[in-house]
Structures are given as structure tokens and as C-alpha cells.
Amino acid sequence: MNKLQLDDIQAEKLIKCLKNVLKKHIKNLSKNDKGQFMLESNKDGIQRQYQVNYMYATDNTHINLMDLKTKLTLVRINLDSKFHNNSDGKVWGHRIEIFSEEEFYQKNDSFTHIKAYPLPYEDIKDTGDFLIALKELLDYTNTHKQNRLQITISRNFDLW
């Protein structure tokens, strides 16, 4: 069995440490768009970079915050009607997936290192709105300089 490059305490620190959006990111989303932008933290003189990947589609929206050094997901929001199979059962529908060392060892598949929880979760609402979900994920992960993100939704994008 592989060993994770992070433990729960390290992951929690990475999730909660102050982050800044590195460069201005401008995107007008339309159906099935994907994108990414970078975040950076500098805590106790240690710089760390993160990547936020997103996909925007009808009933298939995902926002994923990953530690760039380890390539491990720290937090992921899924706004879809699918499920995530935790070691203790399935979580259906809108959910948040959080890094979990325990889940990695319980699942024992050498891959799964996140545990899913239904939304709402802590301060993150259950919403179908991509922009609200993105803002709440960035707030949850203590990300500042969000004014560098200019993401809009195409007017002609029909959700139904």
C-alpha cells in the first residue's frame, strides 16, 4: 500500500492557511467549460502553491482545490446528482469532498484520499450556483485577493 504525502493535520493547515490568487483570471463560462487558476500561500516563510480546477456543465459542476506539490485534492465541491463512494457508504448529490488520511487507509485502493459529505457542510451552502459555490470554497480555504477572479456565466447558457 502506498503512503500519503500528507496527513490530516498537514492537510487541514494547507486548507485553512491564507492564500492569494496569483494572477488575474478572466473567464466567461459556457456549457462544458473547464479552467484553472493558481493560488499561493506564504505561511511562516514557506511558500506553497495550489491549483483550482473547475468544470461547468448542467448537473456536472466541479471545483477542486489541489496542493500543487503533492497533487492531492484538499477540498472539492461537486454539484451533480452522482455519488461518491466512501468506505462507509455512498454520498449522493451535491457534496463536498475533504482530504482524509483515514479514508485513504480504510478504502485501501491506493488512490482515494478524500471523504465526501453532503452539502450544506460547515459554512458552505447547498447551491446549484457555480459562482456562489466557488466563492464559498475560496472563503472556506481562506483565500484572499478574490477580486483577481473575474468569472462570469454566458447569458445564453440554458440550465434546463
Cβ-contact 137, 43 below 8 angstroms: no
Which three-class secondary structure state does DSSP give residue 120? coil
Number of CB atoms found within 10 A of residue 104's CB: 25
Q: How far from the centroid of its chain's Cα atoms is residue 93's Cα?
A: 16
Per-residue pLDDT tens digits for 119-152: 999 999 999 999 999 999 999 999 999 999 999 9
Contacts 24+ apart (CB under 8 A), 40-45: 41/14, 41/17, 42/18, 43/13, 43/17, 43/18
For residue 26, name the pLDDT band (cuts at 50, 70, 90): very high
- Which pLDDT does position 88 carry in this prediction? 95
Instruction: Using a cut of 0.85, tell me whether the model's pTM lies above it.
Output: yes
> What is the spatial distance between Cα 66 and Cα 118, in angstroms, rounded to a whole number?
20
For residue 42, name the pLDDT band (cuts at 50, 70, 90): confident
